[in-house]
Structure 1
């Protein structure tokens, strides 16, 4: 029964391993998502295609994720969470094996689309599970632990995958990811208790919170700052080529720097959200991201500048995630899988759009095209900051105009009346 499953998940003995297990799966998904930026030059060379065309490997994955995340989140809202996570991880492992075997760019794109369809289930389901099990005052930290798996992917998974592609072959990276998916599925099956979230009675009711203007503004904010970041990050190998001299090992080390500060950003973002609220933390992190991207043309020419830029980039970019997840989950916890999947959809739509726009800039922007990716991304981040502030002001205004919800005490009943 749902009540039994949920109660079991909340007991101290069974709750302890839940968040780390969920974070391990997020690590696998995050590595698969972000490692493509590091292996893209090797993919382009091996498949005899241009860098912009190879960029569709990342764009197709992100676009598929963006389209399917809210659909799958709504359709699977009533299912037990462990089952959803296992289906996701099994498909993830098979998709990465197919990616490793793909002989052409077209078949690689097909394999990445299949992988993205499976990955689209995971992060919303894992985040909703963590948010539901955590008490409200620690929800930001619980979400940060799961999202920390994504950050850890940038520390360990992405640099390792980039180094593996440079030292062996890009296909070895995808084989490693397929194996990681199997390991994660085993951990979820063996350690995660059954969890059933409260769900609305039908699909229409579950979709209703998506029409809330607060949800719309939140996901638009995510779309904007993710687009800005991935205008440059998708092509980070080319952007940082002046600092790395095209060396894959040096690029892997720079991605390691990015990942280390990304973990710090995720943890700090979660704790700060619990202390100061989601909007102030989001505003500061998005503003920091805009500054990093805007100054990228000046930091990419030296290794020292690149190290500093990647450190600040990782910190600011990942600090955005806990407050965004928190904003959505608190709107309607019962619709958590759907709302968090909308944020994931916006995240990957931003990755896809950023990769596409960046490819267009590289194709048509001339010799200085790579220098323009950072400032263009900064403009998107600045617009995200504006939407955040406007949305926060609108919510405060609506709250101030709302009638006092405190019920009026009834008049006393007099004897004889």
Structure 2
């Protein structure tokens, strides 16, 4: 087995291939928000009930990421990513064939379990193989695959669902995942990292109060954003005049801004530090969500809101990953796994909160989504600042992980 460590050993195809895999995962994660109206109509359920499709996916992902990460910790990272993408592809095929809501939720749960393996593995490989001064940019390239998914995959999937069928959307996503698996199998050499510890050790960093506050910030930030983003089709139904094509264009605006936000955040974090980038993203997102009731009244203001939303929403992740890596570089894979779990736990919590808001908000429920989300994002600003002031005691720090041997 070949061990890759350090930038000199990393193949030129490494980051692009990791980004392609993240693109597949990102498309599947975010496209659900755009296809909810089609799913609801097809299965004869409400938009609020259809939101459980996204919530179940995110919840299973959050729960399984640390567990499966521990179980597969001794495996070659390429093999882990292949297992993830093949399972992901098969899960999406099952989603496309699901005859009812119960079977669709089961298929989404299986898909999420497979997907949970990929992003932590890819982020860890990117961080370990990059030069220290380019580490945040390397992680941003991987996360950029998710941003590109919002530019290309999500608008295209939304259009396919509106003009053909939501089942066709999941079929396309399955094909992307299986194609990514084939590319990684053919083009990427084995990538061995230090053997990961067991689950108890993997969860040990939570005892570090600075890690806990940082991960809590990720959770709250995503919860606030996804309180409204899970139901983006309903939020922008009126300015899009119920047109799937217009909604797809709006989501493309969100995605283009997200790509810009991810890449700018990577460069900005390397240059200015993670905290200024994170605080800027939190403030901008909170302001956008608070303004949604007004912004969604017109198409032009909806475009502006979605552009700022995408920029701020995606800018937080490179900064957060860099903050965690700086706390304990030796435990980078463990911390990335926790952050990934917090990300999807936030998506699940946001979807569940949004469901309650829509169910009990009456005619003003859609407008309330943004206001509730803004309040939750405001709390993440507090935890971000608290995390900076915490100095974790040495005994709470995660056990060091040996550096990979150079080939």
TM-score category of the 2 structures, normalised to the smaller one: over 0.9
Aligned to 1:325: 321
Aligned to 1:272: 268
Which segment drifts farther, 231-240 or 192-201?
192-201
For 1:200 and 1:249, the matched residues in 2 are separated by: 45
Equivalent residues in 2 for 1:342-361, closer than 5 Å: 342-361=338-357
Which segment drifts farther, 203-212 or 276-285?
203-212
User: Aligned to 2:301, which of 298, 305, 319?
Assistant: 305
Other structure's SS at 1:130 match: helix
Quick check: 2:34–2:233 contact (8 Å CA) kept in 1?
yes
Aligned to 1:179: 175
Matched, 1:162 2:155: no
Quick check: 1:199–1:206 contact (8 Å CA) kept in 2?
no
Other structure's SS at 2:116 match: helix
Aligned to 2:113: 117
For 1:16 and 1:259, the matched residues in 2 are separated by: 26
CA distances 1:343-402 after superposition (whole Å, capped 9, x unpaired): 11111111111111101111111111111110111111111011101111234x989xxx
Quick check: 2:127–2:135 contact (8 Å CA) kept in 1?
yes
Aligned to 2:403: none
For 1:120 and 1:383, the matched residues in 2 are separated by: 27
For 2:213 and 2:340, the matched residues in 1 are separated by: 14
Quick check: 2:66–2:199 contact (8 Å CA) kept in 1?
no
User: Aligned to 1:100, which of 92, 96, 108?
Assistant: 96
What CA RMSD, in Å, does the superposition of the two structures yield over aligned residues? 1.6
Aligned to 2:401: none
Which segment drifts farther, 268-277 or 193-202?
193-202
TM-score (norm 2): 0.94
Q: Kindly state the Cα deviation for residue 332 of structure 1 after the two structures are TM-superposed.
A: 2.8
Equivalent residues in 2 for 1:369-408, closer than 5 Å: 369-395=365-391
**Structure with bigger gyration radius:** 1
Aligned to 2:3: 5
Q: Kindly state the Cα deviation for residue 68 of structure 1 after the two structures are TM-superposed.
A: 0.7
Aligned to 2:15: 19
For 1:337 and 1:152, the matched residues in 2 are separated by: 24
For 1:203 and 1:116, the matched residues in 2 are separated by: 19
The alpha-carbon distance between structure 1 residues 297 and 217, as it changes in their structure 2 partners (threshold 3 A), is: same
What runs of 5+ residues in structure 2 fail to find an aligned partner? Answer: 395-407
For 1:59 and 1:285, the matched residues in 2 are separated by: 24
User: Aligned to 1:49, which of 41, 45, 58?
Assistant: 45
For 1:331 and 1:110, the matched residues in 2 are separated by: 37
Matched, 1:89 2:102: no
Q: Kindly state the Cα deviation for residue 336 of structure 1 after the two structures are TM-superposed.
A: 2.4
For 2:303 and 2:38, the matched residues in 1 are separated by: 22
Which segment drifts farther, 110-119 or 244-253?
244-253
Quick check: 2:55–2:349 contact (8 Å CA) kept in 1?
yes
The alpha-carbon distance between structure 1 residues 200 and 230, as it changes in their structure 2 partners (threshold 3 A), is: closer
For 1:111 and 1:200, the matched residues in 2 are separated by: 29
What runs of 5+ residues in structure 1 fail to find an aligned partner? Answer: 400-417
Aligned to 1:407: none
Quick check: 1:26–1:150 contact (8 Å CA) kept in 2?
yes
Q: Kindly state the Cα deviation for residue 200 of structure 1 after the two structures are TM-superposed.
A: 5.8
For 2:141 and 2:196, the matched residues in 1 are separated by: 27
For 1:136 and 1:159, the matched residues in 2 are separated by: 35
The alpha-carbon distance between structure 1 residues 299 and 132, as it changes in their structure 2 partners (threshold 3 A), is: same
Other structure's SS at 1:243 match: coil
Equivalent residues in 2 for 1:212-231, closer than 5 Å: 212-231=208-227
User: Aligned to 1:143, which of 139, 143, 152?
Assistant: 139
Quick check: 1:31–1:150 contact (8 Å CA) kept in 2?
yes
Quick check: 1:62–1:116 contact (8 Å CA) kept in 2?
yes
Q: Kindly state the Cα deviation for residue 112 of structure 1 after the two structures are TM-superposed.
A: 0.2
For 1:74 and 1:201, the matched residues in 2 are separated by: 6
